[in-house]
Amino acid sequence: MDYLILSPVVLPIITGIVLLILPQKVFKNRKALLITAGISVVVSTCLTLFIISGAVGSSVGMFCIVDDIRIYFNIDDTGRLFAATAAVIFALTGFFSFGYMAHEKNEKRYYAYYLMTFGVLVGLCFSGNLVTMYMFYEFMTIVSVPLVLHNGSREAVMAGLKYLIYSFCGSYMALFGIYCLYRYTDTLDFVGHSTLRADELVQSGNVQLMLAASFLMILGFGVKAGMFPMHAWLCAAHPAAPAPASAFLSGIIVKGGILAVIRTVFYCIGSDFLRGTWVQTLWILLASITVIMGSALAYKERILKKRLAYSTISNLSYIMLGLAFLSESGFRGSLLHVVFHAVIKTALFMFAGSVIFVTGKVRVNDLAGLGKKMPMLFRAYTVAALGLTGIPPMSGFVSKWYIGLGGFSSDIPVFSRLGVVALIISALLTAGYLLPISVKGFLADENNGSMALHYKEPPRIMLVPVIVLAAATLVLGIFPVPLVEFINGIILDCFL
């Protein structure tokens, strides 16, 4: 029975491989492909939610790859939080894809890699030790690159190569840290607290080596999260990918880097070892720079999907900043923002994709007056934009509140206060690059001449997921307590 926990990992990966192998003639029409992909999406989502509910065993060991290093899966509350978020976004983005991809080529290949990416993500969430997590982290890069390369344009190919090179560079930095941790930890398994033998490190005089290894792991895994100075791949990859792939990349895939940092810092190294060191100071500084830089670049950007990509860079560093504070409040805010940002940013990229699908418009200035033709879509966008800005009672306010409290409770007084200032500046810039789209969309005159008469709401299969996510943005802001209480249980493990 314990091996059942691998079903949401194995099933979508196998289904994706089968879709790649089968010739196109097997799917005589698009409907057959959509039915196959739809069943796979629904079954994979339901299996994931069933497994994380605790209905079956929560751990299983597979085999040793070298010495005593084994491939091991264990589902804890941190894994449940990330897997549940991934499953919900995966399902909604999948159904959005069924409408959007009608105008794209190579649909079979897209759904194949989309399913495989989800299976690998679940494997990452269910990983029970650092080596298993690292293996799935590498797999995640490999299977998600084709989503960026999908349309085959020169821009897409260059963006995919940049994504691949940056990700592998980050992975090798993290691998050096894993070597060091293997030498100075009792186990690489995630046991809910630090396993670092700090006393032995002090006696051997290798404290600075471990601090350097810790920073390389944070920076290396932070590549996936787009933290400065390893952020450039993200603003290239997201605009090049199809809109649903961009939504999944921005909402979920980049969170793999966040999960890897959490596992490294709080489950292996331990927050006490890093607190007050140059690693924490530099981590806070880099995250603060990225928060402001991402928002400033988004404010200047005129292509909508690229603006949202820069916004993702900024908001992921909100999460990194909260973690860098190494405080309970900051950690709570970061985990909340993992969920809230996934919901909000997926909705925003779906909005961009819907506009492109209906009108072909990609520039922000071309959206004036479209709110009158697509009122439901623009209303959903407005709710999501308010959520990302952090205006109460939207969910973004709750997570940013806790991150701010984390800064004031941090042991790094100067830099932590600067981090809070960066959050405030970024919130103002976020309002400046998101809300004018709503204002001009509803109040300005159309820029599209007679063609605007033909614009209407996108198909329901695309519109409904955006509305659902916008509603979730509001509901999670009004009723955040159940999620906060769940995260408090994770905090008890990480801050013993």
Domain ranges (residues) in the chain: 275-496
CA distance 390 to 431: 9
Could you read off the pLDDT tens digit of each residue along the chain, which spans 496 residues? 577 889 999 999 999 999 999 887 777 788 888 898 999 999 999 999 999 987 666 778 888 887 778 888 999 999 999 999 999 999 999 999 999 998 888 889 999 999 999 999 999 999 999 999 999 999 999 999 999 988 888 888 898 899 999 999 999 999 999 998 888 888 888 887 777 888 888 888 889 999 999 999 999 999 988 888 888 888 888 888 899 999 999 999 999 999 999 999 999 898 889 998 999 999 999 999 999 999 999 999 999 999 999 999 999 999 999 999 999 999 999 999 999 999 999 999 999 999 999 988 889 988 988 888 899 999 999 999 999 999 999 999 999 999 999 988 887 777 778 888 888 999 999 999 999 999 998 887 766 554 455 788 899 999 999 999 999 999 999 999 999 999 999 898 777 6
Q: Are 430 and 311 in contact (CB under 8 A)?
A: yes
Phi and psi, residue 219, nearest 5°:
-70, -40
CA distance 209 to 234: 30
**Which is nearest to 144 in space by CA: 120, 169, 175?**
120
- Strand boundaries in 258-401, DSSP class E: none
How far apart, in Å, are the Cα atoms of 416 and each of 266, 276, 325, 419, 422? 19, 11, 7, 5, 10
Residues 6+ apart with CB under 8 A from 436: none
Q: Within 10 A of 138 (CB to CB), how many other CB atoms are there?
A: 15
CA atoms within 13 A on the CB side of 332: 24
* H/E segment holding residue 70: strand 69-74
Q: Are 254 and 234 in contact (CB under 8 A)?
A: yes
Burial of 376-401, coded b for 16+ CB within 10 Å and e otherwise, reads: ebbbbbbbbbbbbbbbeebbbbbbbb
Q: Are 195 and 187 in contact (CB under 8 A)?
A: yes
* H/E segment holding residue 64: strand 59-66
CA atoms within 13 A on the CB side of 251: 31
Largest CA distance in the chain: 77
Q: Are 248 and 315 in contact (CB under 8 A)?
A: no
CA distance 23 to 9: 24
CA distance 178 to 180: 5
* H/E segment holding residue 297: helix 278-300
DSSP 366: G
